[in-house]
Structure 1
Amino acid sequence: MRRQAKWLLALVILLFLVPAQAHHGWVGGETIEIEGTITQVRLGNPHGEVQLDVDGETWTVEVGQPWRNERAGLAEGDLAEGVELRVSGEHAGERLLKAEQLWIGEERYVLYPGRI
């Protein structure tokens, strides 16, 4: 009976961990690069998001948490409405990109060094 309870507990824990990893991790989509103008910004936890106008289509770009953006060298105001942005990252859904690195002008910012 005790062994069954341990297996059941392990299974329950596993069931909770898999969706969390799928949400926060990369799921093996292709790496793409897009370029456009920022139209909306929401920075904060669990990660920031910018809306990017790419040839008339709105893309959602997930950027890092505030500490990760700062560590990459982004300063307050770098990700703002009207800024031209080039982004490379994981294509995670219809017009959704998880940013791994981005460029503002010629300046490159690496958000996830282990991914590139």
Structure 2
Amino acid sequence: MSGGCIAAVALFLAGSTLAHHGWSWTGDGMFQLEGVIKDIYLGNPHATLDVDVEGEIWRVELAPPSATARSGFTEDAAGIGDEVTALGNRSRDETEKRMKAVRITVKGKAYDIYPGRAPS
């Protein structure tokens, strides 16, 4: 593989990673979502909740597994069918039912997934 091809592949991979991770895909301002948990994933690259909000399934992205667990949100914290409130930033693409949560509340307990970003 030539040096130019290697550089192109490296740039593509870096761009894909940046597009997926971080906050660049989210909009400004806090957004709140309330619904019922339909699925929980606590693996890599980050934990997610699928939440039914009035018949529409929203993807709520959390932090990587270790940071999500540090917030206290572990496999024992919630289950399918539990009501959840998620606070964070929704996707800039408003046709996409997706948000990145800074705080989630389940069974009356708040979990600050990103404490530095969660409001006081």
TM-score bracket for this pair, using the shorter chain length: 0.7 to 0.9
**Which runs of 5 or more structure 2 residues have no equivalent in the other structure?**
none
The answer for the alignment partner of 2:36 in structure 1 is 37
The answer for the alignment partner of 1:110 in structure 2 is 112
More deviation, 16-25/100-109: 16-25
Matches of 1:79 and 1:60, distance apart in 2 = 16
* CA drift at 1:47: 0.8
Residues 15 and 58 of structure 1, relative CA distance in 2, 3 Å threshold: closer
Q: Between the two proteins, what is the percent identity of the paired residues?
A: 34
More deviation, 29-38/73-82: 73-82
Query: Which of the numbers 11, 16, 21 marks the counterpart of 1:19?
Result: 16
Matches of 2:75 and 2:82, distance apart in 1 = 13
* CA drift at 1:19: 3.1
**Structure with more helix by fraction:** 1
Rg larger in 1 or in 2? 1
Structure-to-structure mapping, 1:1-116, within 5 angstroms: 16-27=13-24, 28-30=26-28, 31-92=30-91, 93=93, 94-116=96-118
* CA drift at 1:18: 3.4
Matches of 1:75 and 1:47, distance apart in 2 = 13
**Does the aligned pair in 1 maintain the 2:42–2:75 contact within 8 Å?**
no
Letter of the 1:54 partner, please give it: V
* CA drift at 1:106: 2.4
Q: CA RMSD in A?
A: 2.1
Matches of 2:62 and 2:83, distance apart in 1 = 15
Matches of 2:61 and 2:11, distance apart in 1 = 26
Normalising by the residue count of structure 1, what TM-score does the alignment of the two structures yield?
A: 0.78
Matches of 1:39 and 1:16, distance apart in 2 = 32
* CA drift at 1:100: 1.0
